[in-house]
Chains A and B, each alone.
Chain A
């Protein structure tokens, strides 16, 4: 598959320390009142790699993303993000860690009262002292990257579901974070629109070397992202079948009964004979 795109000039931090752990979950547990959400969950995400977290509704997938950002605190275990123990940090100190992590929320979570431009550049406009012209240029660049260069002055309410998700992706990447977390990025979208979102995620992973975690129960999108890779051909970007090396950099994590049932590559997941996974994939 090939797509004509805006020249990719976004630049998340390049991987200088390949395979260094970026996100580490070590026996993390969390319960809300009597309900255990996560129990001794452990995994490691390395620089430039991707984890795709699958599981039934209520399995704790989105909770993992909120724990990484420090929006929730675990009851036990350790969570390390870019070398910081986020489970032990105060809210004020977490702001620094969050500058290195972007998040695409379910349904986008765009700010209703701000234009698309203001949403996308929010962090740079509000939380940095960068010159306005520089921020405006960056906003235009990332909106072009997600194919919405003409939509900067619109309000979020004027956008379709797919456009809102793409704006949310643009907002997440605008400040050039090294890690991006996607919470159900394609849920509720038609297959064609979902594919454009999948392509954005693949582009960011392969061309920008962004470390990422995707939470989803959309198997079609999950396998597409895991088995394809983006390659630049001049001003064109091709989406081709992933090489074995690239495919090995994306791992699936399947959650069940508050724990990790499976962790491995797409082929291993497909080959699994675990009855739950067979039922989940069928």
Chain B
């Protein structure tokens, strides 16, 4: 039993070591040539534009359900008109960044792990190296850049449609005047909230993509291994998103509030 525990701990430490090493390689590759610009543009499109539908749907329905639930609670205090404050603060500070990151993890993190994993088991990564290309520069860096740039943009879109969804419910269901709702949306937001809402997705985008790349590049065991890598990327990516969300929130509250 103890032996198995030690073995598990060793494997976990090895994974962390390899993950940190990959991040180091990404850092070096970002500041030295060659940079594969065309691949970066392709990934911006694949990760950003490709995730738009799912983010729009998630953001809209989250904003709507938030307004519904908040309305019920606020009614107990006769404070239904301030529903806009709750929707905007919740979306911008927490739900927008986290739900967007989770949705992108499910869609993009798994896709990256599956794609890179397939390339590993079919020797395409070895072929890249044999042809004189560094797989980290060619495959990982464009995805990391795209994830770090596009997840914040997707989050802003998610926040915006979430507040719009909240406005629809406030107006049609809760019968709160639109001007009251939007005044409260603005009144409920402070600059610190906006900073928090923009810093979080940068970190979460970086984390979820690097985890997808790391898991994909460490794939072993043929097609079965690719399946395992895909699952691991989603599980590890989702947990990491929630853990990092907590850590960043704690850090930013300490620094800014």
A residues lining the B interface (CB < 8 Å): 66, 69, 71, 91-92, 95-96, 98-99, 101-103, 105-107, 109-112, 122-123, 126-127, 171
Contact = CB atoms under 8 A, between A and B. Distances in A.
A208 B31 CA distance: 40
B131 interface: yes
Contacts of B132: 95-96, 98-99, 123, 127
B134 A107 contact: no
B126 A71 contact: yes
Contact of B123 (A96, A102, A106): A106
A123 to B, nearest CB: 5
9 contacts: A66-B126, A96-B132, A98-B130, A101-B130, A102-B130, A122-B131, A122-B133, A126-B36, A127-B34
Interface residues of B, number: 16
B253 interface: no
A95 B123 contact: no
Interface in B2-32: none
A103 B127 contact: yes
A95 B134 contact: yes
Contacts of A71: 126, 129-130
Nearest to A171: B131
Contacts, number: 55
Nearest to B127: A109
A69 B123 contact: no
Nearest to A168: B127
A125 to B, nearest CB: 10
A105 B130 CA distance: 10
Given A107-B123, A109-B122, A112-B124, A91 B134 contact: yes
Residue from A91, A107, A126 having most chain B Cβ neighbours under 10 A = A126
A98 B129 contact: yes
B129 A123 contact: no
B134 A109 contact: no
Contacts of B129: 69, 71, 98
A101 B132 CA distance: 10
Contact of A109 (B34, B36, B124, B133): B124
A109 B123 contact: yes
A71 B133 CA distance: 12
A245 B127 CA distance: 34
Contacts of A92: 134
Given A71-B129, A99-B132, A103-B130, 14 more contacts: A66-B126, A69-B130, A71-B130, A95-B134, A96-B132, A105-B123, A105-B127, A109-B122, A112-B124, A122-B131, A123-B132, A123-B133, A126-B133, A127-B133
A106 B121 CA distance: 12
Contacts of A123: 131-133
A99 B131 CA distance: 7
B122, B128, B132, B134 — most chain A CB neighbours (10 Å): B132
Interface string B131-148: 111100010000000000
A250 B180 CA distance: 87
A55 to B, nearest CB: 19
Nearest to A66: B126
A109 B126 CA distance: 8
Nearest to B42: A113
Contacts of A102: 130
What 6 pairs across the A-B complex have the smallest Cβ distances?
A109-B123, A109-B127, A103-B130, A95-B132, A123-B131, A105-B123
Contacts of A95: 132-134
A34 to B, nearest CB: 15
Contacts of A109: 122-124, 126-127
Contact of A111 (B34, B36, B124, B130): B124
A116 B165 CA distance: 48
Contacts of B34: 127
Contacts of B124: 109-112
A103 B125 CA distance: 13
A165 to B, nearest CB: 13
Interface in B95-139: 118, 122-124, 126-134, 138
Nearest to A181: B130
A55 B35 CA distance: 42
Contacts of B123: 105-107, 109
A171 B124 CA distance: 13
B188 to A, nearest CB: 46
Contacts of A105: 123, 126-127, 130
Nearest to B136: A91
Nearest to B131: A123
A105 B124 CA distance: 9
A124 to B, nearest CB: 10
Contacts of B36: 126
